[in-house]
Structure 1
Amino acid sequence: MAEIMVNGARLAYDDAGDGTPVVLLHAGIADRRMWRAQVDALASRHRVIALDLRGYGESELPPAPFAHHDDVVGLLDALGVERAALVGCSFGGAVAIDTALAHLDRVTALALLGTAVSGNEWSAEADDLWDILIGDLDDDDLPANAAAEVRFWVVGPGRRPEDVDPDLLAFAQEMNLRALAAEQALSAVDAADLDPPAIGRLAELRMPVLVTAGAADVPDISRLADRIAAEAPRAIRLPDVPDAAHLLPLERPTPVTAALLDFLP
């Protein structure tokens, strides 16, 4: 692990390999460890930087206003990297998109895996699925909320927990418990959103964009992938990854890593 000061916060990251730079941005239910299967493989061709976003994992959360997308570019500045490809999963994908829109000249390509998009509103179907699978929870019960989110996102609505590798579920639970604590702390800090948000600006993504999702994920995620592919001018929509849900780089590393190696400049 390495640490570096970025916009007044000490951020934790891993840095491996040489070649064209690639920054890996984790899901909101995880931290940079979710990329453990990709770092070494990508480092054979690229300089791979796996970041813990501010407040997550081993990164700090000073009580000062910030924006995640500005932190990504601040990291590039601090490391002397002029331009990089961004790979993001879920919330990390949303941060990657926001970074590309806010700093178009710094991003060479986007790979978006089960991505969220800032400004997107979840469908009534997604809300209903949560009510059916999870129901009401005590917001202060972090272990129960972590388990619920793992059930919803990592297992997915169409699978049962026993259908998924128990080691994956245990690791996801541990990461998400830390992530939920981070999100509680983040709620007390002024985090700036991209304005206007990305959902209405996908046509501005002029760089190459790769997008896919897990076939077992919540249906809204696959629909978002379709929308990005339809609106971003240079987007490539790969088929959804079979038998994978929201943490598809961790659950199905072989096809994801192969797709990234084929796509990244």
Structure 2
Amino acid sequence: MDKVEIGELSIGFERKGEGSPLMLLHGGLSDSRMWRRQLDELSDEFTVVAWDAPGCGRSADPPETFRLPDFADCLAAFIEEIGLVKPHVLGLSFGAGLALEFYHQYPAIPRSLILASAYAGWAGSLPPDVVEQRLLQGLQQSELPPEQVVKMWIPTLFVKSVSTKVIEETATIMSEFHPAGMRTMLLAFAEADLRDMLPTIKVPTLLLYGGADQRSPLDVAENLHTKIPTSRLAIVPGVGHEISLEAPEIFNAEVRSFLRMDQK
């Protein structure tokens, strides 16, 4: 893993391949390791970069006051620092919300957007009582031993038929979460409401969802699809929230097809 200094934060990342740049943004309680199959399989055609967001993986914890616009500023500086020009930006869950905020702040940088299991921020996609419940539950979980947190989260991320190997790989990544980073990301996403910027998106946008996603259900997907004029919605039946881990072959094929179409 490589590292760069962005302001006062050390940011870890993985880079693989040559070609048009593809920036990968992971979800909460995760890090760049969740993108192993994408780094391996898409790097034959693209320069694939997966960062550890501030407060995750091998990156430093941000200040407690960090919110989604601050993550976007950090991402913009990171992309400039490592020399990516007009990258395609792919985010999952929290990472998709960050991709939206990034486009909102820096619309000239992304060549396209791929939003998987996406929300327009929790406040922008979920009822207030659900947001409050998720935030309170997450803040309480941040104080618990990692194995307890993993047991609570895993059933909400996958369908029951997912392989043991995927469960074990995800559990390993999740068990190494940063408590302070988790709390900062929860607060940032609970406050985020990006509904008003969705109609302003002018770049090609792929919305990619699992048909059995418990955390970001299909009414959220349909809402984003309705409001983003440049969007195409693809739903993978029988797959949960962590679609890139649960169905990597289908996920990668959808991403590759979309990016090839955009490059014509």
TM range (shorter): 0.7 to 0.9
Report what 2:24 is aligned to. Answer: 24
Report what 2:150 is aligned to. Answer: 146
Aligned counterparts, 1:206-225, within 5 A: 206-218=202-214, 220-225=216-221
Q: Measure the CA separation in 2 of the matches of 1:81 and 1:7.
A: 18
Aligned counterparts, 1:26-175, within 5 A: 26-63=26-63, 66=66, 67-118=70-121, 119-123=123-127, 140-142=143-145, 143-155=147-159, 160=160, 163-175=161-173
**1:138–1:224: structure 2 CA closer, same or farther, 3 Å change rule?**
closer
Contact 2:65 2:184 in 1 (8 A): no
2:231 corresponds to 1:235: yes
SS at match of 1:95: helix
**1:228–1:164: structure 2 CA closer, same or farther, 3 Å change rule?**
same
Worse overlay, 143-152 or 96-105: 143-152
Structure 2 gaps of 5+ residues are none
| Residue type at the aligned position of 1:181 | P
Contact 1:116 1:221 in 2 (8 A): no
Contact 2:87 2:112 in 1 (8 A): yes
Q: CA RMSD in A?
A: 2.9
Q: Deviations over 1:177-227 (max 9, x none)?
A: 223625346379xx8789983122210111110002111211743222211
Report what 2:197 is aligned to. Answer: 201
| Residue type at the aligned position of 1:59 | S
Q: Measure the CA separation in 2 of the matches of 1:171 and 1:83.
A: 32
TM-score when normalising by structure 2: 0.84
| Residue type at the aligned position of 1:34 | M
2:181 corresponds to 1:183: yes
**1:196–1:258: structure 2 CA closer, same or farther, 3 Å change rule?**
closer
Q: Deviations over 1:91-145 (max 9, x none)?
A: 1111111101110001110001111222325248968x99xxx9xx766323222
Contact 1:98 1:194 in 2 (8 A): no
SS at match of 2:115: strand
Contact 1:93 1:113 in 2 (8 A): yes
Q: Measure the CA separation in 1 of the matches of 2:79 and 2:142.
A: 36
Q: Measure the CA separation in 1 of the matches of 2:17 and 2:81.
A: 18
Q: Measure the CA separation in 2 of the matches of 1:195 and 1:138.
A: 19
**1:58–1:41: structure 2 CA closer, same or farther, 3 Å change rule?**
same
Q: How many residue pairs end up in the alignment?
A: 250
**1:230–1:77: structure 2 CA closer, same or farther, 3 Å change rule?**
same
SS at match of 1:49: strand
Q: Measure the CA separation in 2 of the matches of 1:181 and 1:219.
A: 21
SS at match of 2:91: strand
TM-score when normalising by structure 1: 0.84
Structure 1 gaps of 5+ residues are none
